[in-house]
Chain A
Amino acid sequence: MPFFSYLAYPKPGAKQALLNDLTTLDHCEVMVAENEEILILVTDTADEKKEKELQKKLNKLKSLQSLGMTFGHTDEQTKDRQKE
């Protein structure tokens, strides 16, 4: 279960649009700064596949300038030597 939190920076003047965009996405919870042009995004996806799908959707958001990650947690096991 990957969990992440981010500071989400909207494009200039697009704070409300970004809030709208993010709240319509699954696996996302958003909180808006009352006095700054910034949002907090917390994501909670079931697995790596869902996480990737979400990342793709986030990358496409026109209202989003950038995301700065602030927290990460995954339960996934690491693998052994990556040989072909």
Chain B
Amino acid sequence: MDISRREFIKLVAAQSAAATAGVLFPGISFGAWEKLDLSSGRIKWKKTPCRFCGTGCGLLVGVAGGRAVAVKGDPNCSVNKGLCCVKGYHSIQVLYGKDRVTEALVRKNDKLVEVPLKEALDLVAAKMKETIKDHGKDAVAIYGSGQWSIPDGYVASKLFKGCIGTNNVEANARLCMASAVTGFLTSFGLDEPMGCYDDIDHADVFITWGNNMAEMHPVLFSRMLANRKSKGHIKIIDFATRTTRSSQASDKSILFRPQTDLAVANAICYEIIHNKWVNWDFVNKHVSFHKGKTNIGYGIEDHFKFKDKAETVDFEQFKAFLKDYTPEKVEKISGVSAQDIKYLAALYGNPDKKVTSFWCMGPNQHTRGTWINNLIYNIHLLVGKISTPGNSPFSLTGQPSACGTVREVGTLTHKLPHGVVMKEKARQLAAKIWNVPVTNIDPKPTYHTVEMFRALDRGDIRLMWIQATNPMVTMPNLNRYRDGAQKEDRFVVVSEIYPTPTYDIADVVLPSALWIEREGFFGNSERRTQHNEQLTPTPGNTMCNSWQLIEVARRLGYEKQFPWGRETHIEDIWNEYIQFHDNPKHRMAPYKVLQARSGVQWPFVNGMETKWRFNPKYDPAAKGEGFDFYGKPDHRAWIWLRPYEPAAESPDSEYPFWLNTGRVLEHWHSGSMTRRIPILHRAVPSSYVEINADDAARLGIVNGSKVKISSRRGSVKMPASINGRGIPPKGMVFVPFFDEKHLINEVTLDAFCPISKQPDYKKCAVKVERG
């Protein structure tokens, strides 16, 4: 068939839509269009996970002449079944920004100048040696990312924890997922969701907790809407602190005052018990009750320490604890009417309805993040709605491999790829697989992310290597950490793809290969590991983050631990890494299987994926009747007594507004990639502050006028948005953080959950003035 390039692309576009429709509506027919021939071979289509959010959509990238030229959703990927969002469709353009970093740079006379890559790698290794010699092994640190490919995080952990012997390994997932992890560990003893996205196709009710899925997980939200449309009876309830696109598309929007989700969750449990909706069969067999410490602080001071202590209690004590949380009492705290609390409880309590709860940053970026995760589990556990299709408390992840690289590989100070550094058995296993003396692995964790940047400021850490993340936009209370990173005697290495505010403070910049310019793996929110091969050539002297680490490791004398060849190292790393998870609770799929499929869910046992954990019908590790919560020594899931405690900083007469921060659909995190994609940049070219129309009128602010937002830590000026895509209630403003021209994190507070150490980006007190 001889057709023009334009006609060809249109045909591909049409066929892509037809293929997607075929997955969503089996048997659908479009007549003659489907028979159009696309076998011209001009474009080769290759699978990859999307580079952006934690949904983990499968993409097919069209490659022609060594360049990625088009994107379509992968109909073979069960995550998105051929659909994609606007970020996914434009993702390949991120490879081709004009100011791509393609050469190494070293700061000389206060200017970054291009140098041969070898010289930069030599310098990084020399500086690491010198710093360790002068200040000890805990003076060097690596700060990575939930956007690291799995091998990157794995070699970083092996180098720093196994070889150098420091636990100074952290990743930005501490800022987005740590409370989810501690929530899972405290309630179930094992990390990551028990359910999967198939829950969307089985649930009757969806309750989203502080989670704007329409913008943050748009493909999953579309799946919910498609189910509602085709089935008719499905309800979506948006429970949040501001009105968003998700609220608008939901059947009901319920707003609560910041931090009071804790009280509402307890009130839902109160109502479930009060109305005798408890699933006693489930509770008696599979649940135990516990309480921990209270008044646990906020971590605002340096060297803050906290350790929780679990005490076993019984159901009667739980019931007595809930007396403070009657719907009427909680209405006063939360602003949610008693009627709406009862409505939510009735949805959870109805034995004929399957309920899935979704949440992401709202409950996680919370000074009581672990607690609110526990409390949502409490609700599901009381009614036994868990680990079965459609009944799912589902903690979504933000980044494409926060689960894969950070939670599974364990790139956090206290973690190893299997287990924690404090446990001797875990250290022994790591030492054996890593081929290092067990004494190399320090049994004491060092710094979580906020404390790591405080240590850099104080001078306890002198050298930090940052890969695949942009902390000079994303750290809360940013002024302190930027000043700290630039102090004399601090040495910052940044592996980057574009100039960013983090690049601006670097002493060495290493040019990184991006996403499909290298082979790698991501792990998404539903325990799905996804492989991509290298699809396009690496530009200039860019190098994948794994190989940068290996080059430096070898210069430090660890050739024996990093023996792999450049061509095969990703496969070799995978084969070594999966030895850590070689048990039925967490077995990962072999390399060849991942190469062939559009993602595989772990545990992968006897050639089968596990869709629902803890349920013997689906999970080979679960034993016995009904359910087996084998992560806990008592084989039960734990209900926790967790009270409502106020936020670290609340509005007062001087700073009378809540500041809430977050993202928008079009931009990925700090915007360093999506702001270089013209269509996305033009859709939302700069940040803004959402303000309620009544507050704006009172302050004389109109749409677009400059507004100054200040806290005790800093201030920023930006245009106002009134009745835009998000509408905060009176007394709250919302600012997206993607824009390096308006650094809202100079205003935010570095308070964190004392258990997870994850900062709360959703609540601090600010003043709002005409700018």
A interface residue numbers (CB < 8 A to B) = 1-7, 9, 29, 31-36, 38, 40-42, 44, 48, 51-52, 65-66, 68-74, 76-84
Q: Which of B15-23, B538-546, B630-638 contacts A (4 or more CB under 8 A)?
A: B15-23
Cα distance A32–B19 when bound, in Å? Answer: 14
Closest to B34 in A: A31
Query: Which residue of chain A has its CB nearest to the CB of B499?
Result: A81
Q: How far is the CA of A29 from the CA of B7 in the complex (A)?
A: 12
| Interchain CB contact under 8 A, B6 and A33 | no
B residues with a Cβ closer than 8 A to A are 6, 9-10, 12-14, 16-21, 24-25, 27-31, 33, 62, 69-73, 82-86, 89-90, 93-94, 96-99, 222, 225-226, 229, 498-499, 671, 675-679, 681-682, 685, 740-741
Inside 8 A of A33's CB, which chain B residues have their CB?
21, 25, 28-30
A47 → chain B closest CB, angstroms = 11
Q: Kindly list chain B residues whose C-beta atoms are within 8 Å of the C-beta of A35.
A: 27-29
A7 to B82, CA, bound (A): 11
| B72: chain A residues within 8 A (beta carbon) | 70-72
> Do A82 and B676 touch (CB < 8 A)?
yes
A-B contacts counted at CB < 8 A amount to 144
Q: Are A31 and B681 touching (Cβ within 8 A)?
A: no
Name the residue of chain A whose CB is nearest to the CB of B27.
Answer: A35
Question: In the complex, A72 Cα to B73 Cα: how many Å?
Answer: 10
Across the interface, do B6 and A6 meet the contact criterion of CB distance under 8 Å?
no
Closest to B29 in A: A34
Check A48 against B17 for contact (C-beta < 8 Å).
Answer: no
Contact in complex: A68, B229 (CB < 8 Å): no
Closest chain A CB from B292 CB (angstroms): 44
Q: Is the CB of A82 within 8 A of B681?
A: yes
Given A71-B70, A72-B71, A76-B678 in contact, is the A81-B498 Cβ separation under 8 Å?
yes
B742 to chain A minimum Cβ distance, whole angstroms, is 10
Instruction: Name the CB-closest residue of A to B13.
Output: A5
Closest to A4 in B: B13
Residues on A with C-beta less than 8 A from B71 are 71-73
Given A5-B13, A40-B18, A44-B10, is A79 in contact with B678 using a C-beta cutoff of 8 Å? yes
Q: Please state if A40 and B9 are interface contacts (CB–CB under 8 Å).
A: no
| Pair A84/B30 contact, Cβ less than 8 Å | no
Could you tell me if A82 and B84 are in contact, using CB atoms closer than 8 angstroms? Answer: no
Please judge, given known A-B contacts A42-B17, A44-B10, A79-B98, whether A69 and B89 are in contact too, CB under 8 Å: yes
- The answer, among A36, A52, A73, A80, for a CB contact under 8 Å with B98, is A80
8 A-B interface contacts by CB (under 8 A): A9-B229, A35-B28, A68-B222, A70-B19, A70-B84, A73-B69, A74-B679, A80-B676
Which A residues are in CB contact (< 8 Å) with B30?
Answer: 31-34, 40
Distance in angstroms between the alpha carbons of A65 and B226 in the assembled complex: 11
In angstroms, Cα B89 to Cα A76, docked, is 13
Please provide the 4 A-B residue pairs with the shortest distance between their CB atoms, ordered closest to farther: A72-B89, A80-B99, A5-B13, A71-B16
Report the minimum CB–CB distance from B762 to chain A (whole Å): 26
Q: Given the complex, which residues of B lie within 8 Å of A70, measured CB to CB?
A: 13, 16-17, 19-20, 72-73, 82-84
Q: Which residues of B contact A32 (CB under 8 A)?
A: 30
